[in-house]
Amino acid sequence: MASRSRTALVDGGRACGNGTGCGHVPDHTWTHSTPCFKGTISDIEICTFTDANFAQGRGASFVMTAKRASYLATHSGFVNPEIIKGVNEDLEPTGPAKYEMREFPGKGMGLVATDHIRRGDLIMGNTVSLMIDYKVFSELPKEQYIQLEAAAFDHLPGPHRSALLKLSTHEETDLPYAARVDKITATNAFDINPDHNDEDQDYAFFVVFPGIARMNHDCRANADYYYDHDTMTQYIHAMRPISPGEEITISYINPKMRRADRMERLKRLWGFDCACHLCTQGRAQAEASDERIDQIKELYPDLRSFQSSSRASPQMAELLISLAEQEMLGGTMYEAYTFAALEYNGIGDAWTATKYARLAIEWGLTTVGEKDGDVNDMKELVVDPWKHWSWMLRTRKKNGWGKEPADDE
């Protein structure tokens, strides 16, 4: 869940919407591709593009340049629609859901489990509904980009549009239409990073998924999310067993923050006073938790470094695993297990390395997905630890064997 820091109408006009001036990216046939506005900083044109047929008629809208929208339309979700068949179960469910929506006092609506959910279970997937290039917020004045957002909602098929319009505006209710759409977007969007092939790496996306947007925040959430660029889908998996009647939550912020910092960020960006278990526990417990968080952050630089100056060791990785368990940081477990696998392999203990690589894969599939680079690195390690790049690396470094590689090598 994100919060954006946002810093000449050519209605109907198109700079490169028909493929002209759009580089090598093949054009896509959009059901709507207006309105458009000229950027105030660079010579670009930003439009609303909608494909009402995307995801078996659910639809998706994009606020960006024609070139970037056309690039996104080269992803498998567009060119091979079968790949996302049945992903969205929120608007037209085909079977019983594991959750239902209900009101939670002080939080508005939220999702509650109606069945036992096991760790690692997929709870929900949503394809993109509205995807905005972050560049839009610096290139266009607010009165223009809110028109693009409103058009993005309006051009989606009816049930999808009405689900979006019902989403939370936090406390504001009496807003003009375009301002309301903007408030819904700001309250419910996630930050999504560009994929590796995207030419516009400097600009992330601001994306709304209507089913997932109903999940409330908890600093020690029981579910986690990751985005898959190929299917253009945000997936939610359970990080621990969830019982019927229990609220399903995600963390809106980086959970590796001290209590005061978490509370300040949630208040400033989402306007609520965090009352989750971790934020309301007693002073002594809160201090112990903050100290564990501090230590977790202190361990990272050494574990990430493969310079000979790094103090990283298997014991350090074991400490990170223990701290992440104590802090119930499910989203950190795959990183901690990955570090442990690399540390043990780095000193020539292939079997302990394999044990931790297996754990890293298991947790990684839940929290970052099967296409994540670290998950695939761990898959390589378990096949043949002795041929993995990390084999004996720490020992070699310690003894000064071979040249010193850069950390990103």
Ligand X SMILES: C[S@@+](CC[C@H](N)C(=O)[O-])C[C@H]1O[C@@H](n2cnc3c(N)ncnc32)[C@H](O)[C@@H]1O
Which positions lie near ligand X, rule CB under 6 A?
106-110, 167-168, 170, 187-188, 213-214, 216-217, 270-272, 274, 276
- Whose Cβ is closer to ligand X: residue 136's or residue 250's? 250
**Shortest distance, CB of residue 90 to ligand X, whole angstroms?**
13
User: Which residue's structure tokens are 């809160």?
Assistant: 286
- Whose Cβ is closer to ligand X: residue 207's or residue 382's? 207
- Whose Cβ is closer to ligand X: residue 106's or residue 402's? 106
How many angstroms from the chain centroid is the CA of residue 13? 33
**Shortest distance, CB of residue 248 to ligand X, whole angstroms?**
11
- Whose Cβ is closer to ligand X: residue 170's or residue 240's? 170
- Whose Cβ is closer to ligand X: residue 272's or residue 300's? 272
**Shortest distance, CB of residue 212 to ligand X, whole angstroms?**
8
| Residue 231 to residue 78: CA distance in whole angstroms | 8
**Shortest distance, CB of residue 172 to ligand X, whole angstroms?**
10
Q: How far is CA 55 from CA 70, 121, 132, 229, in A?
A: 17, 22, 18, 14
- Whose Cβ is closer to ligand X: residue 187's or residue 366's? 187
**Shortest distance, CB of residue 95 to ligand X, whole angstroms?**
23
**Shortest distance, CB of residue 166 to ligand X, whole angstroms?**
8
**Shortest distance, CB of residue 111 to ligand X, whole angstroms?**
9
- Whose Cβ is closer to ligand X: residue 116's or residue 166's? 166
Angle at 117 between CA 115 and CA 118, to 5 degrees: 150
**Shortest distance, CB of residue 96 to ligand X, whole angstroms?**
22
| Residue 165 to residue 308: CA distance in whole angstroms | 55
**Shortest distance, CB of residue 215 to ligand X, whole angstroms?**
6
- Whose Cβ is closer to ligand X: residue 235's or residue 363's? 235
How many angstroms from the chain centroid is the CA of residue 292? 25
Taking CB positions, which residue lies at the least distance from ligand X?
108
245 CB-contact burial (10 Å; exposed 0-12 / middle 13-18 / buried 19+): exposed
Sign of CA dihedral 74, 80, 83, 84: positive
**How many Cβ atoms sit within 10 Å of the Cβ of residue 130?**
29
- Whose Cβ is closer to ligand X: residue 274's or residue 320's? 274
- Whose Cβ is closer to ligand X: residue 170's or residue 265's? 170
**Shortest distance, CB of residue 276 to ligand X, whole angstroms?**
6
- Whose Cβ is closer to ligand X: residue 1's or residue 15's? 1
**Shortest distance, CB of residue 190 to ligand X, whole angstroms?**
9
Tokens describing residue 51:
């494909």
| Residue 185 to residue 179: CA distance in whole angstroms | 10
